[in-house]
Structure 1
Amino acid sequence: MKRGKAWVLAILCGTFFFAGHADAAKVHTVKRGDTLWNIAKQYGVPLKQLKQTNRKGDLLYPGEKLVIPNTTSITAAEKDLLARLVHAEAKGEPYAGKVAVATVVLNRVDHPDFPNSIREVIYERSGGHYAFTPVANGTINKPADHEAYRAVEEALAFRGLGNGSLYFYNPKTAKSNWLRSRPVTVVIGNHVFAK
């Protein structure tokens, strides 16, 4: 019996010891002028997750310590790919529409009915067709502008917030009745967003 208790104690101590090293959380000390949005953007974490981790409302106090949650980080290559998609899909659209296009991709990554990575979502094929026109016509291979990169950063920071849009289309050119039947979440510029 004593041996069993010793094993449990050793396992628990080892678990705490190794967990502390493997998951060493970052801590941010709030400075005057900091906002939750800027902190989330600085560390590349979703604002919602930053608030939940710290059980925070919107008020910050200088000197306050915030734990930066560990998240699955998005590589520079994934950000670039997403920015190129945003640039190709939403060129000429309002900035909010660019953020919304990036958000659709991130929502799909987080949704069980879609692939689990930005790359897989963007290059997904269904019925022999790519999910996004720029992949099919090659415009995804053109460089993104600064605004597209900024829209991607904003979408990442606001990940998990919003109306859960999974689709978008231009009602003047969309031919799919199924897509038009989806519940509309928002209309921005020439795009209708739906889930």
Structure 2
Amino acid sequence: MTRFMKTYAAALSAVICGTIAFSTNAAANESYTVEAGDSLWTIAVDEGVSVQDLQNLNGLSNDEIHPGTQLALPETITNEERDLLAQLVHAEAVGEPYAGKVAVATVVLNRVNDNDFPDSIRGVVYDVTPSGHYAFSPVLDDSIYAQADADSYQAVDEALAFEGQGQGSLFFYNPETAENNWNATRTETITIGSHVFSK
């Protein structure tokens, strides 16, 4: 876990409800040269970094960028963490709308930044609840080990790019299949498809 990941606690857009503080493909202190047609959003998604962190790191007060500008890139999560998160998204959100896939990724990233959860993606994914169960059912039934599809990887990258723009969801559940009503006692942030997200 990098200092960056531990320092920043952020939030995902209200549309997909959560917080993030990571990126996936660039190493710390790498840079990116802005090309014609680029926006901070497209750079953030392509590089797996937060739009807000791009702005903060480069002293930008708005979204305006120009071709030829060198942008420093924020620190990143590893490719292994990205793979694991995409596998969880794939297993948890198969058949769900794309926004729901982004929201599932966001929940994991939010937990990494929350003091009540482990401080790494792997730690969160394999976390065990106080009742002794895995926090995510795909870990229990081994569906997490299936190959993630392209949508799941894209959802992870978009979740990473939304850092600082939302409500901080930490939980999700399907009220039709949930075995207990514990999640229903949380503050609901949004419903996407069959999943209710909460904090």
Same fold, judged at TM 0.5 (above) = yes
**134-143 vs 38-47, greater mean Cα deviation:** 38-47
What is the CA–CA distance in structure 2 between the aligned matches of 1:114 and 1:28, rounded to whole Å? Answer: 33
Mapped pair 1:31 → 2:32:
no
Which secondary structure state, in structure 1, belongs to the residue aligned with residue 32 of structure 2?
Answer: strand
Answering whether residue 91 of structure 2 is matched by residue 88 of structure 1, we say yes
Q: Does 1:66 align with 2:71?
A: yes
Matched, 1:137 2:141: yes
2:166 aligns with one of 162, 176, 184: 162
Which of 128, 132, 138 pairs up with 2:132?
Answer: 128
* Among 55, 59, 67, the residue aligned to 2:60: 55
1:119 to 1:25, Cα distance in 2 relative to 1, 3 A: closer
Give the structure with the higher percent helix. Answer: 1
Q: Secondary structure at the match of 1:120?
A: helix
SS of equivalent residue, structure 2 residue 38? coil
Contact conserved, 1:104 with 1:167, CA < 8 A, in 2?
yes
TM-score, length-normalised on structure 1?
Answer: 0.81
Paired letter, 2:66: Y
SS of the residue 1:39 aligns to = helix
Query: Whole-Å Cα distance in 1 between the matches of residues 53 and 165 of structure 2?
Result: 10
Higher RCO (CA 8 Å, separation ≥ 6 residues): 2
Deviations 1:9-57 (A, max 9, x none): xxxxxxxxxxxxxxx8334332210110122233332112112222331
Distance apart, 1:67 and its partner CA? 2.8
Could you say which structure has the larger radius of gyration?
Answer: 1
The list of structure 1 runs, each at least 4 consecutive aligned residues, that deviate by more than 4 angstroms after superposition, is: none
Percent of aligned positions that are identical = 56
- Residue 84 of structure 1 and its aligned partner are, at CA, apart by 0.9
Normalising to structure 2: TM-score of the pair? 0.79
Q: 2:48 touches 2:158 (CA, 8 Å); kept in 1? A: no
1:57-114 deviation per Cα after TM superposition (whole angstroms, max 9, x unaligned): 1222233333323x2x212211111111111100000000000000000000111111
Whether the aligned pair in 1 keeps the contact of 2:46 and 2:157 (CA below 8 Å) is no
Q: Which runs of 5+ in 1 are unaligned?
A: 1-23
Question: SS of the counterpart of 2:140?
Answer: helix
Task: Identify unmatched segments of 5+ residues in structure 2.
Answer: 1-27
